Copies of this chain bind each other. A is one copy, B any other.
């Protein structure tokens, strides 16, 4: 049967001292609280002997800190987010934090539900890839003095910590690269979303096209159609109606996936003939034929920055003082698919 774990009280009783003393020693406050060297050692030794582990829940109740962080992304099974999670996990554990991952599917209701579930309370901080309509919820979290960092996208006009990439520049560079490789009619496949990251990607593409005197050619698929699995139909129609396309730039990894599926099913030749770039790298891209050029986000850097911004917030009394807005650079990984044919 489950043997009860040893508590601070057991130690106190065994050594015939008070729990207060034990607690002080165990929390490294022996010096400060004038506990003698001998007693300190005695406590430490005994605690080690019986393999004492503090009950985190009791600690949390008393201190109000749970040592839990929530890492809320769009979909944890998406390659980009799971890779990010894996790295963040390690960094957080190193600092003594455990991480609860969850997926909001870019849906407002689900986001709000999850945030209330974590109850404004039992969790020390939130890292959130926000769905489009939860600006108010985020604002309330901040008002309640709860550490929040927005990831991947942010809200215009909301003063909140964020770690994002320079989407416009990334998109501009990718488009520019295609143009330099003599592609003249580049289709841009994106979501009909005005979230900051998608907006940046669209603007970057349009600016590059314009600066080079090319006509932008954009397909914006409504997000709920993508959810319903209709993405491929939109892309197919787009390709069919634009026979003059010589390149395609997919604004997200799932759009690239869908796009390649459509090509594979309907116009396999085009996969080799078109210039292709995908946003977000994927291990599979380098073994594809042709290997797919991609815009790669700096996963390690993103995770590191997240923790770097989070840690001071967890210490602070007032979260609203200053907010950090980190913008990171991406890397264009040039492979066969975007080179001049």
Which A236-269 residues have a C-beta within 8 angstroms of B? 257, 260-261, 263-264, 268
Contacts from A to B (Cβ < 8 Å): 1-3, 5, 53, 55-58, 60-61, 66, 75-77, 79, 82-83, 85-86, 89, 93, 98-103, 116-122, 144-146, 257, 260-261, 263-264, 268, 271, 282-284, 286-289, 291, 318
Contact of A103 (CB < 8 Å), options: B55, B89, B100, B146: B89
CB distance B121 to A53 under 8 Å? yes
CB distance B53 to A61 under 8 Å? no
CB distance B98 to A100 under 8 Å? yes
Give the residues in chain B near A77, CB-CB below 8 Å.
Answer: 79, 82-83, 85-86
Q: How far is the CA of A261 from the CA of B89 in the complex (A)?
A: 28
- Looking at the assembled complex, report how far the CB atom of A56 sits from the nearest CB atom of chain B, in whole angstroms: 5
Specify the chain B residue showing the minimal Cβ separation from A258: B287
- Looking at the assembled complex, report how far the CB atom of A175 sits from the nearest CB atom of chain B, in whole angstroms: 23
Q: How far is the CA of A260 from the CA of B288 in the complex (A)?
A: 9
Interface centre among A5, A93, A99, A283 (most CB of B within 10 A): A283
Q: How far is the CA of A286 from the CA of B257 in the complex (A)?
A: 10
CB distance B79 to A103 under 8 Å? no
Q: How far is the CA of A57 from the CA of B62 in the complex (A)?
A: 10
CB distance A101 to B85 under 8 Å? yes
Give the residues in chain B near A288, CB-CB below 8 Å.
Answer: 284, 287-289
Give the residues in chain B near A268, CB-CB below 8 Å.
Answer: 289
Contact of A55 (CB < 8 Å), options: B116, B121, B257, B260: B121
CB distance B76 to A79 under 8 Å? no
- Looking at the assembled complex, report how far the CB atom of A201 sits from the nearest CB atom of chain B, in whole angstroms: 22
Contact of A3 (CB < 8 Å), options: B144, B271, B287: B144
CB distance A5 to B57 under 8 Å? no
Give the residues in chain B near A119, CB-CB below 8 Å.
Answer: 53, 55-56
- Looking at the assembled complex, report how far the CB atom of A249 sits from the nearest CB atom of chain B, in whole angstroms: 17
Give the residues in chain B near A284, CB-CB below 8 Å.
Answer: 257, 282, 284, 288
Give the residues in chain B near A101, CB-CB below 8 Å.
Answer: 76, 85, 89, 99, 101
CB distance B121 to A5 under 8 Å? yes
- Looking at the assembled complex, report how far the CB atom of A12 sits from the nearest CB atom of chain B, in whole angstroms: 19
Contact of A57 (CB < 8 Å), options: B1, B3, B61, B271: B61
- Looking at the assembled complex, report how far the CB atom of A148 sits from the nearest CB atom of chain B, in whole angstroms: 13
Give the residues in chain B near A261, CB-CB below 8 Å.
Answer: 286-287
Specify the chain B residue showing the minimal Cβ separation from A264: B287
Give the residues in chain B near A3, CB-CB below 8 Å.
Answer: 144
Specify the chain B residue showing the minimal Cβ separation from A76: B86
Q: How far is the CA of A119 from the CA of B263 in the complex (A)?
A: 51
Give the residues in chain B near A82, CB-CB below 8 Å.
Answer: 76-77, 79, 82, 85
Q: How far is the CA of A61 from the CA of B144 in the complex (A)?
A: 24
Specify the chain B residue showing the minimal Cβ separation from A319: B2
Q: Do A55 and B144 contact each other (CB < 8 Å), given the known contacts A75-B86, A257-B284, A287-B257? A: no
CB distance B289 to A53 under 8 Å? no
* 14 A-B pairs with C-beta separation under 8 A: A57-B57, A57-B61, A76-B82, A76-B89, A76-B101, A77-B86, A79-B82, A89-B102, A99-B101, A257-B284, A264-B286, A284-B288, A288-B288, A289-B289
